[in-house]
Amino acid sequence: MPATAREWESIWAPYDEPTYNQVLELIRPNDVVLEIGAGDLRLARRLAYIAREVIAWEMQTAVLTNAAHGLPDNLAVYAVDARRAAVPKGVTTAVLLMRHCQHFHLYANKLHSAGCQRLITNARWGMGVEAINLQVPRMLYTTTPMGWYACWCGATGFKPGPAEYLNPELETAVHEVVDCPSCRHPLAN
């Protein structure tokens, strides 16, 4: 059995139907979607029903061998390592379903630089699906108020503060930051 998060990352395992539905509901007809780590293409095929174009990256050729047949015209599949591949021009939305992803920061930087607008992922919180606006300005941790934060590096957490400031809104609001205590590699620099 694999022991480390890095080993988990290299395993192909499909997600459940509610997770796929959460992703599909966020896809728009004009989207050009890049799926990072597409496995046997079961989600990529469904993405291609909705989106204008889908590009699927998967590094395990064995997984692709049995899957990449009878593809829709708007789905292009590449057997590549996403850490090294360049994001194609025109990608509007990326999908990264990889709860144990160790390379969130790398992918976020590459997608941001390529002008990609959104990243739909379960990689930051390790649960649920979120759509991250990649082009929105982010806050510095020091100026972020008490509450949940999600960092550009992929880390998440709760910034502490006085107990009397706790309220129900703090439980759902998430602040996007660039320099959380665990990353020390601020995008702002």
Q: For residue 65, state whether it binds ligand SAM (rule: CB under 6 A).
A: no
Q: For residue 54, state whether it binds ligand SAM (rule: CB under 6 A).
A: no
Helix ranges, 31-174 (H)? 42-50, 61-65, 104-113, 168-172
| Residue appearing with tokens 């020091």 | 142
Q: Which is nearer to ligand SAM, 12 or 125 (CB)?
A: 12
For ligand SAM, which residue of 54, 68, 98, 123 counts as binding (CB under 6 A)? Answer: 98
Please answer whether residues 179 and 140 qualify as being in contact, where contact means their C-beta atoms are separated by less than 8 angstroms.
Answer: yes
| Residue appearing with tokens 């004009």 | 30
- Smallest gap, in angstroms, from Cβ of residue 40 to ligand SAM? 7
Q: Per CB under 6 A, which region of 56-64, 69-77, 112-120, 146-154 contacts ligand SAM? A: 56-64
Give the strands of the sheet with 174-177, arranged side by side.
156-159, 147-151, 174-177
Q: In whole angstroms, give the CA distance from residue 144 to residue 157.
A: 12
CA angle 17, 21, 26 (to 5 degrees): 160
Q: For residue 15, state whether it binds ligand SAM (rule: CB under 6 A).
A: yes
Binding residues for ligand SAM, rule CB under 6 A, total 21
For ligand SAM, which residue of 12, 78, 125, 148 counts as binding (CB under 6 A)? Answer: 12
Binding to ligand SAM (CB under 6 A) within 16-45 occurs at 37-39, 42-43
Q: Which is nearer to ligand SAM, 61 or 172 (CB)?
A: 61
Q: For residue 63, state whether it binds ligand SAM (rule: CB under 6 A).
A: yes
Cα–chain center distance at 175: 17
Q: For residue 81, state whether it binds ligand SAM (rule: CB under 6 A).
A: yes
Residue 168: C-alpha distances to residues 127, 147, 165 (Å): 21, 11, 10
Instruction: Quote the tokens at residue 100.
Output: 């144990």
| Residue appearing with tokens 């728009």 | 28
Q: For residue 83, state whether it binds ligand SAM (rule: CB under 6 A).
A: yes
Please answer whether residues 19 and 39 qualify as being in contact, where contact means their C-beta atoms are separated by less than 8 angstroms.
Answer: no
- Smallest gap, in angstroms, from Cβ of residue 92 to ligand SAM? 18
Determine the residue with CB nearest ligand SAM: 37
Residues binding ligand SAM (CB under 6 A): 9-10, 12-15, 37-39, 42-43, 57-60, 63, 81-83, 97-98
